[in-house]
Copies of this chain bind each other. A is one copy, B any other.
Amino acid sequence: MQAPSILSPSVSARAKAIRTGAGWAPNESISFIYGFPAPECLPNEAIAGASARALKTHGEWALQYGGDPGLANVLIKKLARDQKIMCTRENLMITAGSSQAIANICELMLDPGDVVLSEAPTFLGTARMMRNLGVEIEPVPLDDDGVRVDQLEASLIRLRTAGKKPKLFYVIPTFQNPTGVTTTLARRQRIVELAHEFDFAILEDDAYHDLRFTEERLPPLYVLDNGVRTFYTGTFSKILAPGLRLGWMVAHPDLIARISALKTEGGASPYSLHTGLEYCGPDGADLDANIARLREIYKRRCELMQDALTEFMPADVGWTKPKGGFFVWLTLPPNIDVTEMIASVRARGVDYLPGNACFFDGSGKNNIRLAFSYAAEDSLAEGIRIIAGEIRARC
């Protein structure tokens, strides 16, 4: 087939700037690369029952055009009880996964050339989205206590001096992706203060909030900010099933109304919404029970990985100690380039995400993101042993 003349002269300026990427398939025997839920965490039988009930009791509406049959009410109760986020249907929007929520918020807020602050490293899906939107990213580093708010402030002052006003700060304060660290309460308060002082919005991605391994629960930025300038996003992908594509955002009602007006792609699938509601039940009890189960499973997985790291890694490799979520972040000696180690590790049946995939500027080549969420539980130690062996060979 001949390449059409419409391609090169006529696509939008943004499309022209983007190269195509290759597909992927998780086919490794011990896969640490993807932030996927463990297969045993996906409630296949309960979902089959929920869909059957939805199709029987909601009739045509489970398969028709339309919206949410009441999952928002379940979420409103849950957010009030667990996250201490008080919201109504006016400031909650259910979306096709939190990636759609984040895309919608970026679409609402950002024009090409705008300046956006972001944790670095960060979630690569959002990083890619922002690159596609043609915004300028100002990276903010992290340490074991989360966002470096001193560095955030320094960036804000430098940008102001340069006549630049950032619109948005993208932050994952709890069990961060990719590092697993949690931003302390004092730092959260400082982020909100800075947002008011420098007049920027906060995009708080709280995908891992419920998957905590301890009883500690820090207030979201949305709560500290009283919901004035924070967009809060969450997802059923980590606490129920990614395949349903169900997520949400909470924001000021005026902002939700504007996003509603902008939306062109439609929201969550009505079939997923009805299935999700029937799964949760009106009081959300089955979702609560599932979350309690997942917390145990991921806590055990994280401990197994931590034990293996302690046992097998050379002394000059450091790693984070997450209190929740899916990920551990490794820092190797600076002379090791983990992108060059991928092939030999993969040849031994293991994969991981090279740290540079999570940065905007190609740094992080001596970092590795390890997901303890997906690989078989009894393979976690073996996978770490193999990676450690490859690192030792390069130390």
Contact B51–A63 (Cβ < 8 Å)? no
Interface residues on chain A, size class:
35 or more
Indicate which residue in B96, B201, B271 contacts A241 across the interface (CB closer than 8 Å). Answer: B271
CA distance in complex: A37, B63 (Å): 10
For window 1-59 of A, CB contacts with B under 8 Å fall at 1-7, 10-15, 18-21, 23, 34, 36-37, 39, 42-45, 47-48, 51-52, 55-56, 59
A129 — which chain B residues lie within 8 A by C-beta? 264
Given the contacts A19-B261, A44-B55, A244 and B228 also touching, CB distance less than 8 Å: no
Q: Given A48-B52, A269-B269, check contact A260 B20 (CB 8 Å).
A: yes
Min Cβ gap A44→B in Å is: 4
B270 touches A3 (CB 8 A): no
Query: Which of the candidate stretches A74-82, A107-115, A181-189 sits at the interface with the other chain?
Result: A107-115
Inter-chain contact B3/A252, CB cutoff 8 Å: yes
Q: Which residues of B contact A151 (CB under 8 A)?
A: none
Q: A103-B265, A266-B100 are in contact. Are A244 and B229 (CB under 8 A)?
A: no
Copies of this chain, how many? Answer: 2
A36 contact set on B, CB distance < 8 A? 64-65
Closest chain-B Cβ to A391's Cβ sits at a distance in Å of 28
CA distance A271 to B272 in the complex (A): 8
With contact pairs A3-B252, A5-B199, A262-B14 given, residues A64 and B44 touching in the complex (Cβ less than 8 Å): no
Which residue of chain B has its CB nearest to the CB of A104? B265
Q: Report the 5 A-B pairs with minimum CB-CB distance, sorted nearest first.
A: A243-B270, A63-B241, A39-B60, A63-B243, A20-B257
Residues on A lying within 8 angstroms of B by beta carbon are: 1-7, 10-15, 18-21, 23, 34, 36-37, 39, 42-45, 47-48, 51-52, 55-56, 59-67, 91, 96-97, 99-100, 103-104, 106-111, 128-129, 132, 167, 199-201, 226-229, 237, 241-245, 252-255, 257-258, 260-262, 264-266, 269-272, 274-275
